[in-house]
C-alpha cells in the first residue's frame, strides 16, 4: 500500500478506518477536517458545513476520469441535511447518482461499496 501524502492528497483508494472528533483515519494516517474520497485518492476538502457546499467545491469529483464514479455519497455532517437544488442539478448534469446522508453513515456505506468494487466516491463533511 502506498502511504505517501502529497499536499493534502493520498493517492489511491483506501477504506476510511475511523471518523470522529472533527476528522478521519485512513491508510494508517489521520486528517482533521473534511475530505473528498475518490478513485484517484483522498484529498483534504475545504467544505466544513452544508452552507459551503457548491458546484465549485465538488470540482475534483468532476475532474475524475469519466466512468470512474457512478455514485457519490455526500456526508452532510452529524445529521442528514438536504442538498441545495443547484448542487443536485450540477451532479445530475455530470451524470452522477448521489446519496446524501449523515457522515457516519456515508463512511460505513462507502467502505461496503468499495469492498464490493463499486464505482463510488464520497464527499465527507467532518463534524466537530
Span 45-91, pLDDT tens digits: 999 999 999 999 999 999 999 999 999 999 999 999 999 999 999 99
Closest CA to 62 of 27, 38, 86: 38
Which pLDDT does position 8 carry in this prediction?
A: 72
- Quote the CA–CA distance of 55 and 57 in Å, as a whole number: 5
Q: What is the CATH number of the domain that holds 24?
A: 3.40.1230.10
Which pLDDT does position 43 carry in this prediction?
A: 96
In a domain, 81, yes or no: yes
Which pLDDT does position 1 carry in this prediction?
A: 41
In a domain, 80, yes or no: yes
Name the pTM for this structure.
0.93
Amino acid at each position: 500500500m502506498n502511504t505517501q501524502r502529497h499536499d493534502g492528497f493520498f493517492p489511491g483508494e483506501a477504506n476510511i478506518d475511523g471518523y470522529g472528533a472533527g476528522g478521519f483515519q485512513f491508510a494508517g494516517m489521520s486528517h482533521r477536517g473534511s475530505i473528498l474520497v475518490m478513485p484517484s485518492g483522498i484529498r483534504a476538502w475545504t467544505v466544513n458545513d452544508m452552507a459551503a457546499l457548491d458546484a465549485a467545491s465538488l470540482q475534483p469529483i468532476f475532474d475524475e476520469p469519466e466512468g470512474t464514479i457512478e455514485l457519490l455519497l455526500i456526508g452532510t455532517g452529524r445529521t442528514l441535511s438536504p442538498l441545495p437544488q443547484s448542487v443536485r442539478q450540477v451532479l445530475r448534469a455530470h451524470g452522477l447518482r448521489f446519496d446524501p446522508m449523515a457522515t457516519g453513515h456515508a463512511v460505513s456505506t462507502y467502505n461496503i461499496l468499495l469492498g464490493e468494487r463499486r464505482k463510488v466516491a464520497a464527499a465527507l463533511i467532518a463534524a466537530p
